[in-house]
């Protein structure tokens, strides 16, 4: 069963990345750096950006070139949680399927390439844009669950799928940062909109990545290596809705029909068990709040499962023309994970960076090449 609309939301975790290169305005300190400090203070600042750049250099800050462009590659694997799933067929009523459809071992692996132009607007604030293309492979495993009168839930139908998507991402970001004596703090953040064909409108995500690092100079002028540690936080705009053709969800209609028929039989058996239990109670036992709650819970869940299966069954009978409408909310299983990284600066123009994220339910890797110039 190809639940394509559920796969799309997993892709969104992959399309916005934390792409700040570790250059910063560094306060020159120490006696061994007095000559460099004097030259920075005495030489006129030759560029229009950043604003207040000349004032910063007079106070002993060594500024990076004020503009740059980088090419970034990003890979990630992440788990996700899906809630408030509602599904309808052929523009009919939508049914909430919480508890009925349960997701297990659902994850996405994806890669993205983006271009990031940036400028230093102020000596301690970098702003940038993101334009990228991404692709993803998504695996979903789930089941349809129904209860009996004792509230024991049973899986009546398993389904799983793997699908691939492509998308385009546009984003804007900024990074407040400061450095003293080669030690630095950066607070990178960006918001991105991802355009996927299967969604009604582009989806929005927000990335926040604090980092604390240290830069070690080499003997070669303007050449150094930086190391850092930090965190990576992903926030997704939770609402997603859209419409898809049934034939895209069920490429093997015959196999899907067999599964649906078997699940309908199991739901009917559960309903018969619940009805037998209820009819076997006395009037006094039926009046007990606990028994009434069990009966109503079981009937409600069995009705939802029956509506879902009947909707799929009807849609399969008109495969070429049927559609499914959906809405849902989603969130990363873990919003935060831990990151470590390093950057080699060949000179003030060229930098090569690598970063890895791990711990929690998300693993990621990024590398980038940046070129900087005065503006």
> Is residue 47 situated within a structural domain?
no
What pLDDT sits at residue 5?
Answer: 42
What pLDDT sits at residue 105?
Answer: 79
Distance between CA atoms of residues 30 and 183, nearest Å: 13
Beta strands in the chain (DSSP E): 26-27, 61-62, 67-89, 95-96, 101-122, 125-147, 153-180, 183-195, 203-217, 224-236, 239-245, 323-332, 336-345, 350-358, 362-373
Instruction: Return the number of other C-beta atoms located less than 10 Å from residue 302's C-beta.
Output: 21
pTM comes to: 0.76
What pLDDT sits at residue 98?
Answer: 85
Distance between CA atoms of residues 178 and 210, nearest Å: 12
> Is residue 30 situated within a structural domain?
no
> Is residue 44 situated within a structural domain?
no
CA 220 distance to own-chain centroid: 40
Count structural domains, the chain: 1
> Is residue 363 situated within a structural domain?
yes
3-state SS, residue 8? helix
Instruction: Provide the residue range defining the domain that includes 222.
Output: 4-25+64-373
Strands 153-180 and 26-27: parallel
Helices (H), 230-318: 246-249, 253-279, 283-287, 289-317
**DSSP output for 49-61:** -STTHHHHHHTTE
Residue 366 DSSP class: E
Burial class (CB in 10 A: 0-12, 13-18, 19+), 336: middle
> Is residue 50 situated within a structural domain?
no
| Domain CATH number, residue 360 | 2.40.128
Which residue, 343, 369, 351, is CA-closest to 65? Answer: 351
Average pLDDT, consecutive stretches of 10 residues, N- to C-terminus, the chain (375 residues): 42 45 71 71 88 89 92 90 83 86 82 94 95 82 85 85 78 92 92 76 85 92 93 76 74 82 92 92 91 91 90 84 80 87 95 92 93 94
> Is residue 33 situated within a structural domain?
no
Phi, psi of 213 (to 5 degrees): -145, 180
What pLDDT sits at residue 370?
Answer: 96
CB distance 154 to 259 below 8 Å = no
Phi, psi of 5 (to 5 degrees): -65, -25
Query: How far, CA to CA in Å, does 180 sit from each of 26, 60, 80, 222, 361?
Result: 5, 10, 39, 16, 34
What pLDDT sits at residue 200?
Answer: 64
What pLDDT sits at residue 9?
Answer: 41
> Is residue 55 situated within a structural domain?
no
> Is residue 59 situated within a structural domain?
no
């Amino acid at each position: 069963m190809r639940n394509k609309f559920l796969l799309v939301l997993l892709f969104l975790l992959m399309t916005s990345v934390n792409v700040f290169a570790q250059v910063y305005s560094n306060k020159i300190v120490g006696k061994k750096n007095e000559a460099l400090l004097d030259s920075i203070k005495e030489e006129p600042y030759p560029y229009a950006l950043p604003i207040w750049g000349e004032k910063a250099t007079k106070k002993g800050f060594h500024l990076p070139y004020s503009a740059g462009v980088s090419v970034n590659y990003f890979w990630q694997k992440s788990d996700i949680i899906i809630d408030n799933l509602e599904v309808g067929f052929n523009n009919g009523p939508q049914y909430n399927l919480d508890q009925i459809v349960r997701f297990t071992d659902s994850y996405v692996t994806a890669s993205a390439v983006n271009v990031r132009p940036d400028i230093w607007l102020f000596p301690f604030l970098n702003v940038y844009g993101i334009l990228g293309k991404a692709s993803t492979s998504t695996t979903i495993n789930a089941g349809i669950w129904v209860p009996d009168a004792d509230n024991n839930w049973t899986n009546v139908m398993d389904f799983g799928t793997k699908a691939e998507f492509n998308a385009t991402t546009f984003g804007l970001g900024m990074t407040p940062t400061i450095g003293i004596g080669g030690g630095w703090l950066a607070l990178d953040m960006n918001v991105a909109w991802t355009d996927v064909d299967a969604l009604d409108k582009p989806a929005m995500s927000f990335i926040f990545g604090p980092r604390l690092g240290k830069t070690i100079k080499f003997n070669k002028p303007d050449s150094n290596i930086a190391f850092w540690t930090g965190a990576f936080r992903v926030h997704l705009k939770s609402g997603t809705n859209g419409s898809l053709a049934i034939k895209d969800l069920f490429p093997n209609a015959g196999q899907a029909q067999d599964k649906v028929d078997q699940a309908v039989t199991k739901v009917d058996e559960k309903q018969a068990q619940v009805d037998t239990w209820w009819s076997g109670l006395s009037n006094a036992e039926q009046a007990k709040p606990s028994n009434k709650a069990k009966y109503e819970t079981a009937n409600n869940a069995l009705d939802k499962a029956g509506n879902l299966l009947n909707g799929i069954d009807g849609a399969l009978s008109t495969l070429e023309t049927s559609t499914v409408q959906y809405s849902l909310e989603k969130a990363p299983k873990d919003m935060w994970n831990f990151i470590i990284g390093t950057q080699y600066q060949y000179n003030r123009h060229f930098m090569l960076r690598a970063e890895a994220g791990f711990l929690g339910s998300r693993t990621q890797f990024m590398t980038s090449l940046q070129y900087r110039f005065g503006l």
